[in-house]
Amino acid sequence: MWIVKNRKIFYIFSGLVVLAAFASFAVWGLKFGIDFTGGSLLEVSYTQSAPSVADVTTALSSVGIPDASVRPTGQTGYILRTSFLTPDQYDAAKAALSMNGAAPFEEKEYTSIGPTIGTELKTRAVWAIALVLIVIALFIAFVFRRVSKPVSSWKYGLVVLLALAHDVVVPVGAFAILGHFFGAEVDTLFVTALLVILGFSVHDSIVVFDRVRENLKRNQEHNNAKEPFEDTVGKSVSQTIARSINTSLTVVIVLLVLFFIGPASAHYFVLTLLIGIIAGTYSSIFLGSPLLVTLEKR
């Protein structure tokens, strides 16, 4: 079957994509949101005319907040990001922003995260990703425990682990690029999206492996045990590719709708999911099954 036959091409392609992702990450790093770095984020919308970015920055410096990042949003709004503000500093900032009453504004949203919580969230994020990777790999090895020939069930777990690692690396690399060029931030919702991607992308692998298991059993029963494993896997992939794509397609449809007309605050969350689920579908079909064959040959 062409996917399994040409697996070297797909390995090279995936290798390049993963390399590109690592490279982006190494060069630009991720733009961490205040969830992880700590700090304060204030979104305001001026009701009449908005002062310029320079005016805003000066006003904030004058009350002791010199390192504020001011980003315009909408027509008359700004998103300000500063280091952690105490309640008093917050009051002073608001007074400064209103230019002492000359420029009234509406406060849309304010978030302030202290350094302890920021570090804690970072630690939890790493633990959660590691735990999900391990648990799912073990789960797959357990589910396919009776398929020992010709590939032991541990290898099924290993293949899934490699595919899932790919599914984590691609969105991270994408957000290194997006962070550099568009200011896209990585926050706890990004991590949540990664975990959802991991939990979901294994579905396609389960579908194919399930079919491989069934075909192997069928070969045993019908005295066809001589069929090369490569052919069995190839057959399984071509039999299940339509449903693999369709199950991901339904999710992509709703995500696209959410992306285009959904709430703005969920924008990057949905984008992460989109990138990850597309990467996940690719990795399950074009990487997962061919890897089984490669591992069998070792």
Partner 1 sequence: MLRVRLAAIALLLAGVGIGWFVVQSQEGQSRFAFRYGLDLAGGTHLVYQADTSKLAAADVDASMQSLRDVIERRVNIFGVSEPVVQTERGGITGGGEQRLIVELPGITNLSDAVKAIGSTPVLDFRLQEAVAGTSTVAYVPTGLTGAYLSHAALDFSSGRAGTLANQPIIDLQFNTEGAIRFKDITTQNTGKQLGIFLDGQLISSPVIQEAIPNGQATISGSFTPQEAADLVRNLNFGALPVPISLESSQSVGASLGAQALQESTVAGLWGFVFLSIFLILWYRLPGVIAVAALMIYVALSLAIFKLIPVTLTVAGLAGFILSIGMAVDANILIFERTKEELRAGKPLQEAIHEGFHRAWTSIRDSNLSSILTGVILYWLGGTAIIKGFALVFVIGVLVSMFTAVTLTRTFLISLGFGGSDSKLAHFLFGSGVSK
Among 56, 121, 147, 292, binds partner 1 (CB under 8 A): 121
279 binds partner 1, rule: CB under 8 A: no
CB of 42 to partner 1, least distance (A): 10
3 state SS of 155: helix
One of 151, 184, 273, 285 touching partner 1 (CB under 8 A): 273
| Bridge partners, residue 279, by sequence | none
Structure tokens at 278: 């597309």
Q: Does 60 bind partner 1 (CB under 8 A)?
A: no
- Percent of residues in the chain assigned helix, strand, coil, to nearest 5: 70, 10, 20
Determine the interface stretch with partner 1 among 49-57, 147-155, 199-207, 230-238 (rule: CB under 8 A): 199-207
Angle at 105 between CA 100 and CA 109, to 5 degrees: 120
Work out whether 128 is an interface residue with partner 1 (CB under 8 A): yes
Residues between 80 and 109 with contacts to partner 1, criterion CB under 8 A? 86-87, 90-91, 94, 106-109
Which of 151, 255, 291, 293 is close enough to bind partner 1 by CB under 8 A?
255
Q: What is the DSSP string of 43-65?
A: EEEESSPPPPHHHHHHHHHHTT-
Secondary structure E strands in 76-195: 77-82, 105-113
User: In the set 66, 127, 182, 220, which binds partner 1 (CB under 8 A)?
Assistant: 127
The reply on whether position 111 binds partner 1 by CB under 8 A is yes
Q: Which is nearer to partner 1, 135 or 225 (CB)?
A: 135
Of the candidate spans 25-33, 57-65, 132-140, 220-228, the one that interacts with partner 1 by CB under 8 A turns out to be 132-140
Binding mask 202-241 for partner 1 (x = CB under 8 A): xx--xx--x---x------------------------xx-
| C-alpha gyration radius of the chain | 25
Q: How many CB atoms lie within 10 A of CB 53?
A: 12
Find the binding residues for partner 1 in span 31-50 (CB under 8 A).
43
Question: How many chain residues touch partner 1 (CB under 8 A)?
Answer: 68
65 Cβ contact partners less than 8 Å away, ≥ 6 residues apart: 82, 85, 89, 92, 93, 96
Which residue in 133, 114, 131, 107 sits closest to 36, CA to CA? 114
Report the candidate in 118, 113, 65 with the shortest Cα–Cα distance to residue 91.
65
**φ, ψ at 78 (rounded to 5°):** -135, 145
Pick 150 or 262: Cβ nearer partner 1 = 262
Between CA 101 and CA 199 the distance in angstroms is 51
Q: Which residues from 133-162 bind partner 1, rule CB under 8 A?
A: 135-136, 139-140, 143
Which residues here bind partner 1, judged by CB under 8 A? 43, 86-87, 90-91, 94, 106-114, 116-117, 120-121, 123-124, 127-128, 131-132, 135-136, 139-140, 143, 188-189, 192, 195-196, 198-200, 202-203, 206-207, 210, 214, 239-240, 242-243, 246-247, 249-255, 257-258, 261-266, 269-270, 273
